[in-house]
Structure formats: C-alpha cells, structure tokens
C-alpha cells in the first residue's frame, strides 16, 4: 500500500535573509550554497501491515506526508533555455535592462515555493480530516518528489558524493531531535521493544537505527498508554509513521546519480519505467511482503515524479508541444481514475490505497503543473500578501512535516478543556461537538508555529547557517540616506551603494 504525503523530508549559496532553496522535499536541500532544499509536502505515516486505525479526531494510519519535502526552487527550464537576442534599438535595450533588474540573484522560483506550501497545508488537512478526495484534488507527494528531483538534477552538476553528503547532512539533525522526543515519550509510556510481539528480539533493537538514519522502517508500538491518557492510544503509530517519507526520499537521493545517468541516455525508458514497475508490484502481479514491499512500492509509485523533475530541469518537457503533453497527461489521469473506480480501498477513493492509480494520477498532474510553470520571481497580485508565510513554510518544511501529526493529536487535550468552562450548556456543548475538527485545524497552526520557534532553527544548523527563529525573508531596514532599488535584495543595500563612490575616490586619489 502506498501513502500520500508531502513533503518531502542540498545546500545553495548562502545569502542573508530567505534561503529558498531549502524548501521541500522534506527535505531536500538544494545546492551547496546555503539556500535550502526541502519537504513537503504531504507526509503520510507509513506503517507495516496491521489494519488501519482511525484516530478519534479523524487522522488515519497510515497517513500521508507533505511533502517532498523541502528544497529551494530553481528557475524553470524555460527560463534557463538559451535565447537568440533580437536586434534592438538603444531605447529597447535600456527597457530590457530595466525590466530584468528586479530578478533575484538566487534564482528561486516562487511558483514552486507556492506549490510546496499548498502541499504542506493539504497534508495537514488530509491527516486531520481524512478526506479521501484530497488525494485526487492535489497529489502532494507526487508534486514534492518532482520538485525535489528537479533540484537534485541541478545539484548533480557538482560531484555526486558531495551532493549526497550535503542532502544527508541536512536531513539527519532535525530527524534526530524528533526521534529523541518520540522515543522518550514511547519509553516513558512503558514501551519495551524487547517484549513487543511485532518488533521484539534482536532485530527490533537493530531497527531502532532507523530513527538515526532512515534507511528502513522504524519500529513503534501499535497501541500504547490507556484510554484515559492525554493522547489516544495510536499516537505512536501516527507520529512515527510519517518517517516512511524520509526513507523514500533518502533512497531517491542515493539512486539519483544512476537515475540521472540513465535518463540522459534513455530518457523515455527511465521516465516511464517506474509506471511499469508500479503495474507489477502495485497491482498484486508480484507481491513483496512486509516493509520491503512498501519501500519498493513507494519507489515505483513516486519514481516517475522524481524523474519528471529531471525532465523539467533538463528542458525535456518544454520540448514537447503543450497540447500533446496536456492531452497525454489527461488520458493517463483518466486511466488512473478508471483503475481506482474498480479497486477502491477501505477509504473509497483514497489514492494512497491504490498504487497504480496514485502513480498515474500524480504523474499526469505533475506534468501539467510543470508545463504551465510560470517561474515567478515574486508572488503576483493578491498572492503577494502570503509571501512571508510561503517563505516561512518553505524554510521550515522539514519541521512542519515531522511534527504536524503529533501536534494534531496535541490539540485534543487542549480543546477538551473548553468543556469545563462554566458557560458550556448543552447547546454550547453540541455546537463544540459539531465543529470540533474545525477547531482542531485552527489550533494546530499556532502549535506548528511554536514547534518552528522551538526546533526549526536546527534546520539552519544542519545547513551550516546562522540559526533563525522565524525566517520569513523580511529584509533588514536600510540606513538613512540609502535606498533599495529594484535590484535590492541579498547582497545589496547600503554597502553596495557605497562601493562605487569609494572606487571613484580611490581613482581620483591615484590621479
């Protein structure tokens, strides 16, 4: 069974302010420079095979992740394509120069940033409400893996070993903090892994290593605590289950040098092979038991989206006429829905339970998104009001992804205190019951904000940057007597305005 996430959990050149490249794939870290790569996205708890459990408040196990989470967007392939300059008059050349001035030197793409933010919001909503149609409305995991694949292809212009080392370096410290907290909670609640029938023995102890390096599925108890406790008894499953996405992301990163090599030699075969593999391992033709089967299925289902990221970066998608790409994608998505209609799982149209439908729908959806990618340097129009939140969510995608499920459950004991208020009569209690999950959705965001303040800065340390508590990309105020022109941003400001005058004075003294 596959599970949608987001998410998502390389470093780019550092600059003051917003490191956009570290935004999603949980956790993609984009180039060697300090701009972040990240997750996403939509993170679904991946759990072994016991029956799925539904949380008292609507979260599910296994659930989905955000996605790929968290890498900084690069400029679209269209913006990188070489162009032939047309003859221009001096006035036209001046106009063109002015028009290009506002472009940022870091080359981040706010359209891709926005997609990551939408993926994260959708993941949180999915894990809380459990609405199956959300997996059709916006396949967060496929989107996040595609964005991470594009950034990985860009980063692999450098030596592969260094790129992989950088990705892993950014992935592990936030994971270690999260693992330390939930393992402490599980042991404090009485979990004894050596006596756990599902994870006992020497092998169970060895599998604890997956909380340190997510090469496999970490062990956790299916039920812990008691019904009168602050958290429901499935909290461990729902909290630790999201780590399946980090496992998938890590294996994609490790396989990327080989995948990119194959893509450049046989692009169509490499692009479509994961769909063929999904048709084999995701439909029951070949059954691989246990977590190994889950890992192979995840790799097959989202492998096509990861390689689509390669195609986007290499400019392959832009060489295909848009009407052809959209038409073929629509047919593929229609096939996915048709297949899903005949293979509905326990949650109906939840594509996380239908691997082939998830793979084909996500693949087609991503092709259309990347075909229409506008490569914004700034959010346009009314979207601009969300600029700081988009920047924050991209800079802290790993933190949001890892902690959101645990924080969703933490809303329950907080909201339960409302029943003790003196004015809560039967009518008010009924109203609270009817809107309980809406209030959970409202409350979880301030809790996520507190998590960002508490542990989000670890993402900066992992990226070898100065820690920031609330990275919204706000620019530092300029000194009196200076101004920020159209090209102001990282690397500009008072110092950059003073340098030409200093050089002029030096030349005058030399004369």
DSSP string, 32-98: SSSS-----S-B-----SSPPEE-TTS-EES--B-BS---PPPPPHHHHS--PPPP--HHHHHHHHH
Rounded to two decimals, the pTM is 0.76
pLDDT in the model for residue 203? 86
* C-alpha 447: how far from chain center: 19
Local structure of residue 350 (DSSP, 8 states): -
pLDDT score of 190 more than 70: yes
Predicted confidence band at 31 (pLDDT cuts at 50, 70, 90)? Answer: very low
User: Where does the pLDDT of residue 458 fall: very low under 50, low under 70, confident under 90, or very high at 90 and above?
Assistant: very high
Secondary structure of residue 7 in the 3-state scheme = strand
Residue 189: CA count within 13 A, CB half-sphere = 25
Most confident option among 178-192, 213-227, 472-486: 178-192
Q: Of 10-19, 159-168, 302-311, which range is least confident?
A: 10-19
H helical segments located in 384-510: 387-395, 397-415, 426-434, 436-451, 457-462, 494-510
Residue 377 has pLDDT above 80, yes or no: yes
Q: Going by DSSP bridges, is the β-strand pair 60-61/53-54 parallel, antiparallel, or unpaired? A: antiparallel
Mean pLDDT of the chain: 79
Mean pLDDT across 473-491: 47
- 454's CB contacts (< 8 A; 6+ apart) are none
Confidence of residue 394 (pLDDT cuts 50, 70, 90): very high
Dihedral angle computed from the Cα positions of residues 359, 362, 366 and 367, in that order, rounded to the nearest 10 degrees: 50
Question: Tokens 């239908």 map to which residue?
Answer: 354
């Amino acid at each position: 069974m596959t599970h949608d996430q987001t998410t998502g959990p390389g470093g780019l050149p550092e600059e003051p302010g917003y490191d956009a490249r570290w935004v999603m794939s949980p956790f993609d870290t984009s180039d060697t420079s300090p701009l972040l790569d990240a997750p996403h996205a939509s993170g679904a708890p991946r759990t072994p095979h016991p029956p799925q459990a539904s949380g008292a408040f609507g979260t599910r196990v296994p659930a989905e992740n955000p996605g790929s989470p968290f890498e900084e967007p690069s400029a679209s392939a269209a913006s990188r394509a070489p162009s032939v300059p047309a003859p221009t008059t001096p006035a036209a050349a001046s106009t063109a120069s002015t028009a290009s001035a506002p472009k940022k030197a870091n080359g981040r793409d706010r359209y891709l940033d926005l997609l990551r933010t939408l993926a994260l919001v959708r993941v949180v909503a999915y894990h809380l409400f459990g609405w199956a149609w959300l997996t059709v409305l916006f396949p967060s995991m496929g989107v996040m893996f595609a964005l991470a694949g594009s950034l990985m292809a860009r980063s692999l212009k450098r030596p592969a070993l260094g790129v992989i080392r950088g990705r892993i370096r950014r992935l592990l410290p936030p994971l270690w903090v999260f693992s330390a907290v939930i393992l402490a909670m599980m042991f404090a609640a009485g979990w004894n892994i050596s006596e756990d029938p599902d994870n006992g023995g020497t092998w169970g102890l060895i599998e604890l290593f997956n909380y340190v390096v997510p090469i496999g599925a970490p062990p956790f108890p299916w039920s812990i605590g008691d019904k009168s406790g602050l958290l429901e008894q499935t909290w461990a499953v729902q909290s630790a289950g999201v780590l399946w996405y980090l496992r998938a992301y890590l294996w994609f990163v490790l396989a990327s040098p080989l995948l990119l090599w194959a893509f450049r030699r046989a692009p169509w075969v490499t692009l479509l092979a994961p769909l063929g593999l999904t048709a084999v391992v995701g439909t029951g033709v070949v059954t691989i038991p246990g977590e190994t089967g889950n890992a192979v299925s995840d790799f097959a289902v989202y492998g096509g989206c990861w390689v689509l990221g390669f195609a986007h970066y290499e400019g392959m998608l832009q060489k295909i006429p848009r009407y052809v790409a959209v038409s073929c994608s629509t047919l593929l998505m229609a096939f996915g829905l048709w297949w899903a209609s005949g293979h509905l799982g326990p949650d109906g149209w939840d594509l996380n339970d239908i691997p082939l439908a998830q793979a084909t729908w996500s693949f087609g959806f991503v092709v259309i998104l990347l075909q229409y990618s506008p490569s914004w340097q700034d959010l346009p129009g009314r979207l601009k009001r969300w600029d700081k939140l988009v920047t924050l969510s991209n800079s802290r995608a790993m933190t949001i992804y890892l902690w959101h499920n645990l924080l969703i459950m933490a809303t329950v004991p907080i909201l339960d205190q409302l029943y003790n208020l003196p004015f809560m009569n039967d009518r008010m209690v009924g109203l609270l019951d009817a809107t309980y999950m809406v209030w959970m959705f409202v409350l979880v965001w301030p809790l996520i904000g507190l998590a960002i303040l508490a542990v989000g800065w670890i993402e900066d340390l992992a990226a070898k940057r100065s820690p920031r508590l609330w990275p919204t990309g706000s620019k530092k105020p300029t000194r009196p007597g200076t101004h920020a022109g159209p090209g102001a941003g990282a690397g500009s400001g008072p110092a950059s305005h003073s340098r030409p005058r200093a050089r002029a004075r030096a030349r005058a003294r030399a004369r």
